[in-house]
A and B are shown apart, each in its own frame.
Chain A
Amino acid sequence: MAYESLVKYTPKINQQLARYGVKFGIYKNGHFDERLFPFDAIPRVIDADAWDTLERGLIQRVDALNAYLKDVYTEKQAIKDGIIPEHFAFASAGYLPQCEGIVPPKGIFSHISGIDLVEDKDHTWYVLEDNLRIPSGASYPAVARNLCRRCDASTFRDLPIRENRDYPQMLREVMDNVNCGGINVVLTPGRYNSAYFEHAYLAENSGAVLAEPYELFVEDDVLYYGGEDDRQRVGAIYRRTSDEYLDPLCFNHDSLIGVPNLMAAYRAGNVAIINTPGNGAADDKGVYYFVPKMVKYYLGEEPILKNAPTYLPIYKDDMAYVMDNLDKLVIKEVSEAGGYGVVFGSKLSPEDLELFRQRIIDDPRNYIAQEVVDFISLPTYIGGEVVPRKADLRAFVLSGATTRVWPSGLTRYARQAGSSIVNSSQGGGFKDTWVLSR
């Protein structure tokens, strides 16, 4: 196999990743913990034909999601036409009425979309989740690729592997496309953020300024970087802070974090915010159910990518099915992210199963249930041997002058044998993703 020569470099590459500070942090129960993100040198390999289908499906899906975001904050036609129920669209915690009526520069809402997919045993890809707020992780495979090439240049010379180290350039094109005049800035909440390494890497390699909120201010509806006397106008801000900490005068009045009146500069059309605030209205675990319908409604096309079979307990038939099959389904809390609030019915004790049954009955809007997709395991080098581990793929779709898919992606694998939870916050590791050009 092509990767065999790479396996022996796994410890060395992990050492280098650690030295570069390729880490992620977890903030949980009031305690900040920084961990290494284990890298496995055996890549996921996607051949050219499979990638072609994935790419078309991802572009289609993200174009539809962008159309929905524009609609939900302006005309609301899909809601009036009954495609998405009103109480669903607006009860989503990610819907922010503060963003009503704003059409961002060039009409793009989700510039960087992280679409999480898994491959079934019959090689069908299923989308498990759309991440349209601040999806992270593109830097890890880009950095790892670089290290792998150094260890084993011949493998990369001999195989038709598509380049993935140009992600920062793609990001730059996305920022330049919507820039309203001025510099590009990557806004980080600071070094205690779980993705600080990535913020610094992306800023440095895309030619943007890495800034913390206190280094930015708004005057006359224009965003500036620097001090009162040595200011530079900012035309696009790739913010890696969540919506609620973006502007203390708009979203969270208790917070002192953020840039006061950033939303006013944005509403006035003087700065592009990447991704736009309020995108949670379209990546809610409940709204997910409606994405294939959005593809048909906005684009008039048949969806190329499938959702995992999903049930919404707010519908009577779905509720009945969920109640009858709870022990076989995955139960997800709509309001949770990052692998939190995901429970496998098959792993629950009879008492806990009853508990969840009651919770779903009490608050059906807050839960979805999905069939367990029996997704494939990838060979993974753990503890000196190659063992199978379940793995997903986060594909990155960049919406600039055109919508493009980065020909790579973050493949995350579960730490434990048999586990399907691949989130880094749950102890998983990552792999590079090789897309073959022929």
Chain B
Amino acid sequence: MKVLEYTFETNVSFSEPVTKHDFLLRCQPGNLSCQRVMHGQVTLFPATRTSEQRDGFGNRVLMGRIAAGHDRFGFISTGLVLSGETDALEAPGHAMYLKPSEFADESSALRALSREVLSGMGSADPWAQAQALSHAVWDRMDYEPGTTDVSTTASEALALGHGVCQDYAHILISLCRAAGIQAQYVNGLILGHGASHAWVNVFDGDAWRGIDPTNDRVCDDGYIILSMGRDFGDCPIDSGVFRGGVTQEQTVTVHVTTR
């Protein structure tokens, strides 16, 4: 059990002012059995009225609209989270997490890899199997930013053999589902200094447990969950639509420390 202090900052600069900018953010942790939010706040710039809801997956979402021209957009999400009260997320399983999805798709290579990894295993325990699959992803893949993008699917990333945390997570989800294990995509923050992160929750029959294939480890109380879904497409941290044919540059900084 840890008290984690987080600062999550995203800055977008546009080459020309944009207008009619609608956005939807999933940048705040919510209360879950494995984490409790003690304090949290989001500052937006330009300063904008927002409304807050829970989406269909239970994620906290913040929505707003900036009609006037602006060439910068960003948010700072800060707060304190008590993490690891229990080590698992107590929530029921759901059949939709067994079905291939847009980004965690299926392919013969994914099915073959899943079979190959699990064929030598004596255990039929989904949690043990998921860990073996996670290790295989880590083993197969090279971490190389810039070689994949947000639209890369699990089958594409596996064929490439490299990618970032999003790709690792999608591949692991597809491998789990191929083996009949329910798996979901998780966006979040981890202890240390860097960017936002993505990992996988698998359903062990009773509860959901986190695995981080990018770091080849099981999630612990250094992980803060921001959003969950079938894959990246269900729960992006920040998404927006605006008018203006521009190029944009985005920087993301995350600090998570224990307190």
Contact = CB atoms under 8 A, between A and B. Distances in A.
A249 interface: yes
A260 interface: yes
Interface of A, secondary structure class, is loop
Contacts of B61: 264
B187 to A, nearest CB: 14
Contacts of A261: 22, 24, 63, 65
Interface string A184-216: 000000000000000000000000000000000
Of B53, B56, B239, which is in contact with the most chain A CB atoms at under 10 Å from its CB? B56
Q: What class of interface size applies to chain B in its complex with A?
A: 20 to 34
Nearest to B24: A249
Interface in A110-139: none
Interface in A370-428: none
Given A91-B95, A97-B96, A249 B56 contact: no
B67 A228 contact: yes
Nearest to B232: A253
Interface in A78-134: 86-87, 89-91, 95-102
B98 A220 contact: no
B175 to A, nearest CB: 19
A320 interface: no
Contacts of B23: 249
A7 B239 CA distance: 58
Given A86-B95, A228-B67, A253-B236, A98 B22 contact: no
A219 interface: yes
Given A87-B98, A97-B230, A264 B53 contact: yes
Contacts of A220: 49, 51
A185 B163 CA distance: 45
A337 B65 CA distance: 36
Contact of A248 (B49, B98, B234, B241): B241
A89 B99 CA distance: 12
A90 B95 contact: yes
A238 interface: no
B65 A217 contact: yes
Contact of B95 (A87, A217, A250): A87
Contact of A249 (B95, B230, B241): B241
B151 interface: yes
Contact of A100 (B22, B57, B67, B233): B57
Please give me the 7 A-B residue pairs with the lowest Cβ-Cβ distance, nearest first: A260-B22, A100-B56, A90-B95, A98-B56, A249-B24, A260-B241, A90-B96
Interface of B: 20, 22-24, 49, 51, 53-57, 61, 63, 65, 67, 94-96, 98-99, 151, 229-230, 233-234, 236, 239-241
21 contacts: A86-B95, A90-B95, A90-B96, A95-B96, A97-B230, A98-B57, A99-B56, A101-B54, A101-B56, A217-B20, A220-B51, A221-B51, A221-B53, A221-B63, A253-B239, A256-B241, A260-B22, A261-B63, A264-B51, A264-B63, A268-B51
